């Protein structure tokens, strides 16, 4: 954990004691922050978030995408079945959480303590806390709670709600905010919230997210919300009781789809800056390592972008909000029994929004930060179907992706004077992104529910392929040559080098995918 007077930055901990934590890696680091203002109503702005350029040849099916699949092969018979499931879950399904627990010295509960049900803080001590609350003595409230909360003793729900509403989301700034947030995270680590004990509700989150005059601690609140969702989701997944999770009650596409739509609206606002209010003060310095961690925290394959002209410096604040909201969307995809149906419903809502995002850098930021490969596939499939002159009834498959190469036109309407070749370059970028995401969907059984998926991986089940996934190297070569001829007619000579690089990368991707 790094903490200074201007920036609260959280690092992943290696706490074995929390069932929500998966093996930590550099790419899991996500920064945190608190900034300023008070409680009132409406949707808010953020600037352009550019894509992260990467070498065209390097990543292809690289580290972030194929490693977890390889890691699964290392499960040893020495593990019990339950341990294997928990380990696979942590490593494989949700390996990039939007928030990580603070590393708080000397408070991590051991296994024996974890198995005992904690009691409420004794009434005498609670009366001391309530006295400080009644007198609005914030420092006293925080001090007493920090002293009284332990592995054995937890605060009641109304105390947590008070910390959130009356301190974290009030006009307080600086050390009070940081101390409140750290106390909430300490409580969450020792006594993870569940559907019965969680101290926030969706109406409060909606009010804060759509408030034009946001309180200073609203981002810390969003981080805390995502943390509670994440921890509870992982615990209920381990128990195979996702229907009892907080996420099921607030992010289910079956039960409360309007909430999911609201998350999409907040996310689009953060990407485009329309209706998204920035804090008045921004962190003065962002280290290159934390910037790298934010880049790596996306599960999206990273492709090189030639769209440099419109790239503006990313806003640290907006990036954090995007990553947190994308995490919520990925949970929404998985919490119901059919991720395939949920991703279709969510993609249908996203599609008209993404058509109206004006800049390529913003579209790429939206797609590259998307955690769910399945959802990214659905969104890109809709975009390509929209751009095809002749529709196809093929299911999403390798043959359909090749079909998109042969039949797609320039994808999107541009509000600027983007050159024609750059528009085709963006189309090829998204086609490679679709291919890599589809590969992950197949290899990781992402169309199956999480419970079924764990069983499939433990059984080392082979990926389910469709007839239309059976394509040859010759099919790939012929389609690419046909595309080159089409580009020569449209773009003329000299043929842009960037297009050739994208095509070479796409061909290699197809060769890798067909080989596996």
Mean pLDDT of 169-196: 94
Q: Is 388 helix (H, G, I), strand (E, B) or coil?
A: strand
pLDDT reading at 29 higher than 70:
no
Q: Is 8 helix (H, G, I), strand (E, B) or coil?
A: strand
Q: Which helix (H) or strand (E) holds 507?
A: helix 497-515
pLDDT reading at 7 higher than 90:
no
Residues 236-271: pLDDT tens digits? 999 999 999 999 999 999 999 999 999 999 999 999
Q: What is the pLDDT of residue 114?
A: 56
Mean pLDDT of 22-41: 39
Q: What is the pLDDT of residue 317?
A: 83
Q: What is the pLDDT of residue 48?
A: 39
This prediction's pTM: 0.73
Residues 366-382: pLDDT tens digits? 999 999 999 999 999 99
Mean pLDDT of 501-513: 91
In angstroms, rounded to a whole number, what is the distance separating the alpha carbons of residues 479 and 484?
Answer: 9
In angstroms, rounded to a whole number, what is the distance separating the alpha carbons of residues 13 and 133?
Answer: 32
CB 432 within 8 A of CB 505: yes
Task: State percent of the chain over pLDDT 70.
Answer: 68
Instruction: Report helix, strand and coil shares of the chain as percent, to nearest 5.
Output: 55, 0, 40
Measured CA distances, 45 to 217, 276, 284, 482 (Å): 17, 2, 20, 43
In angstroms, rounded to a whole number, what is the distance separating the alpha carbons of residues 448 and 453?
Answer: 6
Residues 339-355: pLDDT tens digits? 999 999 999 999 999 99
Domains of the chain, by residue range, sit at 2-515
CB 62 within 8 A of CB 55: no
pLDDT reading at 62 higher than 70:
no
Up-side HSE of residue 297: CA atoms within 13 Å toward CB? 24
Confidence grade of residue 85 (pLDDT, cut at 50, 70, 90): low
pLDDT reading at 281 higher than 80:
no
Residues 133-165: pLDDT tens digits? 999 999 999 999 999 999 999 999 999 999 999
Nearest to 193 by CA among 230, 141, 248, 219: 230
Residues 376-403: pLDDT tens digits? 999 999 999 998 888 889 999 999 999 9
In angstroms, rounded to a whole number, what is the distance separating the alpha carbons of residues 377 and 184?
Answer: 36
Q: What is the pLDDT of residue 24?
A: 40
Q: What is the pLDDT of residue 20?
A: 39
pLDDT reading at 79 higher than 80:
no
Mean pLDDT of 186-190: 96
In angstroms, rounded to a whole number, what is the distance separating the alpha carbons of residues 364 and 52?
Answer: 9
Q: Is 423 helix (H, G, I), strand (E, B) or coil?
A: helix
Q: What is the pLDDT of residue 299?
A: 41
Confidence grade of residue 282 (pLDDT, cut at 50, 70, 90): very low
Those residues with Cβ within 8 angstroms of residue 77's Cβ, 6 or more apart along the chain or in another chain = none
In angstroms, rounded to a whole number, what is the distance separating the alpha carbons of residues 7 and 316?
Answer: 11
pLDDT reading at 211 higher than 80:
yes
Conformational region of residue 106, where left means phi above 0, alpha means psi within -120 to 50, and beta covers everything else: left
Residues 302-324: pLDDT tens digits? 443 434 333 333 477 888 999 99
Average pLDDT of every residue of the chain = 77
Winning range, highest mean pLDDT, from 69-78, 267-276, 374-383, 453-462: 374-383
pLDDT reading at 125 higher than 70:
yes
């Amino acid at each position: 954990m790094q903490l200074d007077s201007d920036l609260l930055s959280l690092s992943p901990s290696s706490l074995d004691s929390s069932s929500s934590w998966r093996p930590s890696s550099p790419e899991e680091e996500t920064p945190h922050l608190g900034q300023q203002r008070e409680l009132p109503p409406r949707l808010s702005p953020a600037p352009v978030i550019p894509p992260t350029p990467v070498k065209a040849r390097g990543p292809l099916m690289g580290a972030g995408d194929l490693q977890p699949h390889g890691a699964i092969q290392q499960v040893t018979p020495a593990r019990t079945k339950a341990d294997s499931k928990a380990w696979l879950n942590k490593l494989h399904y949700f390996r990039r959480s939007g928030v990580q627990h603070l590393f708080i010295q000397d408070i991590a509960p051991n296994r024996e303590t974890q198995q005992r049900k904690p009691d409420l803080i004794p009434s005498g001590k609670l009366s001391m806390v309530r006295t400080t609350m009644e007198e609005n003595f914030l420092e006293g409230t925080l001090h007493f709670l920090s002293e009284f909360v332990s592995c054995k003793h937890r605060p009641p729900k109304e105390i947590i709600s008070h910390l959130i509403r009356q301190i974290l989301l009030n006009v307080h700034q600086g050390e009070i905010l940081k101390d409140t947030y750290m106390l909430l995270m300490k409580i969450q680590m020792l006594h993870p919230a569940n559907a019965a004990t969680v101290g926030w509700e969706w109406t409060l989150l909606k009010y804060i997210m759509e408030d034009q005059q946001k309180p200073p601690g609203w981002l810390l609140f969003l981080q805390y919300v995502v943390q509670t969702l994440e921890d509870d989701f992982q615990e209920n997944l381990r128990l195979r009781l996702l229907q009892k999770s907080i996420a099921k009650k607030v992010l289910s596409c079956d039960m409360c789809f309007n909430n999911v739509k609201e998350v999409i609206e907040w996310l689009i606002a953060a990407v485009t800056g329309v209706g998204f209010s920035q804090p008045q003060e921004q962190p003065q310095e962002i280290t290159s390592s934390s910037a790298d961690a934010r880049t790596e925290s996306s599960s999206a394959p990273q492709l090189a972008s030639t769209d440099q002209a419109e790239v503006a410096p990313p806003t640290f604040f907006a990036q954090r909000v995007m990553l947190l909201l994308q995490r919520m969307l990925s949970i929404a995809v998985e919490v119901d029994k059919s991720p395939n149906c949920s991703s279709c419903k969510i993609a249908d809502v996203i599609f008209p929004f993404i058509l109206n995002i004006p800049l390529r850098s913003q579209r790429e930021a939206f797609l590259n930060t998307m955690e769910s490969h399945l959802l990214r596939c659905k969104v890109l499939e809709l975009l390509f179907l929209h751009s095809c002159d002749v529709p196809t009834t093929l299911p999403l498959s390798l043959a359909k992706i090749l079909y998109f190469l042969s039949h797609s036109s320039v994808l999107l309407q541009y509000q600027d004077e983007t050159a024609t070749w750059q528009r085709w370059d963006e189309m090829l970028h998204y086609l490679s992104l679709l291919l890599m995401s589809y590969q992950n969907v197949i290899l990781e059984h992402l169309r199956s529910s999480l419970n079924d998926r764990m069983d499939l991986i433990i059984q080392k089940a082979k990926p389910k392929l469709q007839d239309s996934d059976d394509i040859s190297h010759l099919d790939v070569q012929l389609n690419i040559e046909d595309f080159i001829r089409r580009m020569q007619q449209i773009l003329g000579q000299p043929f842009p080098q960037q297009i050739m690089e994208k095509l070479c990368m796409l061909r290699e991707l197809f060769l890798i995918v067909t080989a596996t």
